[in-house]
Structure 1
Amino acid sequence: MNDHKALILDEVRKYHDDVQTVGEFVPGVTEIWPTGAVHDVADRVALVEAALELRVAAGQRARRFESEFARKMKRRKALLTTSGSSANLLAVSALTSQRLQDMRLRPGDEVITVAAAFPTTVNPILQNALVPVFVDVELGTYNPTVDMVARAIGPKTRAIMIAHTVGNPFDVADMARLATEHDLFLIEDNCDAVGSRYDGEPTGTFGDLATVSFYPAHHMTMGEGGCVLTSNLVLARVVESLRDWGRDCWCEPGESNTCLKRFDYQMGTLPRGYDHKYIYSHVGYNLKATELQAALGLSQLGKLDDFCAARRRNWRRLREGLDGVPYLLLPEATPRSDPSWYGFVITVDPEAPFEASELVGFLEARKIGTRRLFAGNLVRHPAYADQPYRIVGDLTNTDIITTQTFHVGVYPGLTDEMIDYVVSSITEFVRVRG
């Protein structure tokens, strides 16, 4: 590091100290956010240092992040991308690749999922001309059971794609066995669940593919960003191709002839010797992340375990504080799981003497941020009115979630004082209105 760069980074550290003010918490005045990122001086320095090098396109840091994150998540490959949503798009699209031969998904094939979801878990199914098959979820865990999914399997079913809702794992070991028994692909949407475990193993390690988000609301952040994880090297190569314009070449940007036969290929109806750097084997996208995002991700990755521990601690404090409050269904971890929670989900009993919207309004007036459980029932949204889908059973609990369910925050930036104020506010409202 040259002297000028060292001086700049030292000034960045001083700047961080200048602007990093932690004010006194004032109940009802200080915002208590439902989600948020936690940054420290190392994050700021990492981002500025990468910017000084002016290498913006994905490079050495991106490759290093992919390697370290794959190791952290116990997968052979991690493919960095622009967002968790684009990771979902790449994961589903990969299953349609001709590289999978007879196993590939084709238009009209069905993918089992849930309607109580974030839309970008479901949208890639439709965007690939596949048909989502919706099943209900349980209240409390907010995940489907294996039996619910098993009943939805039909002659056109080819895959299962489900999120670990708010970090709470679905019964992923048995779901993976179900998928294997029926020759189905399993995609774990792990965007809300980095750090969660099932049977002692990380979520994201049970399916053929898993996806992660690095949006500020999630367990670690790059500002924007996401990742596709897999231990299947064929699928990894397909995801990489789809992410990188659909190209067949695997040279890193700025590299040439990694395969030592750049001008020896004959593919499609192209003439033999056509430059492999410009041969395309998929109808792809450009969904690569940047070197700046990777720099921030590497810094955040070192704090991930502490972030997850804080989320668990905040969730437990809320759960213990609200235990026994009437009219509220509190969240429960799925048996055999150890969730790294995204949020604390509350469902108001439909028979309660108040509406969930009234409790939400009360909390928001006290500067306690709330969020719905994503889209509630997706099939009730205008975007899906004319889309093809199938529903198996009914969506009774999903409809309850639409009107009665919300979540408050557990992210690491919240203090015990803030958590206790959330507990006392909810308790006060129920006591007065109940």
Structure 2
Amino acid sequence: MKDKDIFILEDNCESMGAEYKGKQAGTFGVMGTFSTFFSHHMATMEGGFVTTDDEELYHILLAVRAHGWTRDLPKENKVSNKSNDWFEESFRFVLPGYNVRPVEMSGAIGVEQLKKLPNFLQQRRKNAKLFVELFKNHKDFIIQRDIDNSSWFGFSLIIKPKSNLKRKDVINILQENNIDCRPIVTGNFTKNEVMRYFDYKIHKDLKNADYLHNNGFFVGNSQICLKKQLCIVQNLLCN
């Protein structure tokens, strides 16, 4: 970040294909993460990928994704002094690592899905246009505001402060009609017990995140036309 000693790591798993001021989301920081889980913009069933234009981070990622070994690193790299001895380098570990390498089948599916991604995004935006038309003046809900060119992972709704609705009742209505929904990206993440394992600070209170945590939810989008489904959701939530 300009003039500040801050490095941005973008969690872009739910914004593949989104743009802000002509630049792709996931490319603003030193690294960006993308998910290809089956409910996301494109799918390899499980998995995802990381983008970076920093060569050192790229080499670190190559090692970390495969147990922390040097086997996949080029001879000239920024992680280790790799020797010419292939036998020694085949099981030489230089970083703590994981086993998160994609399998060939996932890669093959991903290559074909990537070709379809522009059309997937186009349909998601068409669905979103209808969603906005249906809910923009709803008396009980605040909806997602597109500040540039969202790729619309889902359709977020937040119950307005003056509404008499209770989220639990709304979710029950959706579930009774076989309409799935989720919290909006966990809501206020700092409420999760896992936070006790991290060294972190919170600047002031998180009142907006808390409100979203307690009153928000989203229903899914897709790369197929959802006109019928969105009209059903509107009918349920307007009655």
TM value normalised by structure 1: 0.51
Q: CA deviation at 1:245?
A: 1.7
Alignment identity in percent?
26
Please tell me the residue identity of whatever aligns with 1:186.
Answer: I
Q: CA deviation at 1:262?
A: 1.4
**Which is richer in helix?**
1
Which residue is equivalent to 1:326? 139
Alpha-carbon separation, structure 1, partners of 2:238 and 2:21? 34
Q: CA deviation at 1:371?
A: 1.2
Please tell me the residue identity of whatever aligns with 2:119.
Answer: D
Whether the aligned pair in 2 keeps the contact of 1:322 and 1:427 (CA below 8 Å) is no
Does the alignment pair 1:392 with 2:180? no
Does the alignment pair 1:306 with 2:128? no
Q: CA deviation at 1:194?
A: 0.8
Whether the aligned pair in 2 keeps the contact of 1:221 and 1:296 (CA below 8 Å) is yes
Aligned length: 233
Which residue is equivalent to 2:66? 244
Which residue is equivalent to 2:3? 181
1:203 paired residue among 12, 15, 25: 25
**Distance verdict in 2 for CA 1:322–1:207, change over 3 Å:** same
Whether the aligned pair in 2 keeps the contact of 1:379 and 1:385 (CA below 8 Å) is no
Please, which runs of 5 or more residues in structure 1 have no aligned partner? 1-178, 253-258, 265-273, 429-434
Q: Please state whether the residue corresponding to 1:298 is helix, strand or coil.
A: helix
Which residue is equivalent to 2:43? 221
Which residue is equivalent to 2:221? 410
* Alignment root-mean-square deviation, CA: 2.2
**Distance verdict in 2 for CA 1:353–1:242, change over 3 Å:** same
Which residue is equivalent to 1:348? 159
> What are the within-5 Å matches in structure 2 for residues 47-126 of structure 1?
none
> Deviation string for 1:337-394 (max 9, x for gaps)?
2010111101001321121221221122122221111322223233335654311021
Q: CA deviation at 1:284?
A: 1.8
TM value normalised by structure 2: 0.89
Which residue is equivalent to 2:129? 316
Please tell me the residue identity of whatever aligns with 1:410.
Answer: N
Does the alignment pair 1:365 with 2:190? no
Structure 1 range deviating more: 274-283 or 221-230: 274-283
Q: CA deviation at 1:332?
A: 0.4
Please, which runs of 5 or more residues in structure 2 have no aligned partner? 75-80
Alpha-carbon separation, structure 2, partners of 1:375 and 1:277? 40
Q: CA deviation at 1:301?
A: 1.1
Could you say which structure has the larger radius of gyration? 1
Bigger relative contact order (CA 8 A; separation at least 6): 1
Please tell me the residue identity of whatever aligns with 2:185.
Answer: F
Does the alignment pair 1:275 with 2:88? yes
> Deviation string for 1:70-117 (max 9, x for gaps)?
xxxxxxxxxxxxxxxxxxxxxxxxxxxxxxxxxxxxxxxxxxxxxxxx
Which residue is equivalent to 2:78? none
**Distance verdict in 2 for CA 1:229–1:367, change over 3 Å:** same
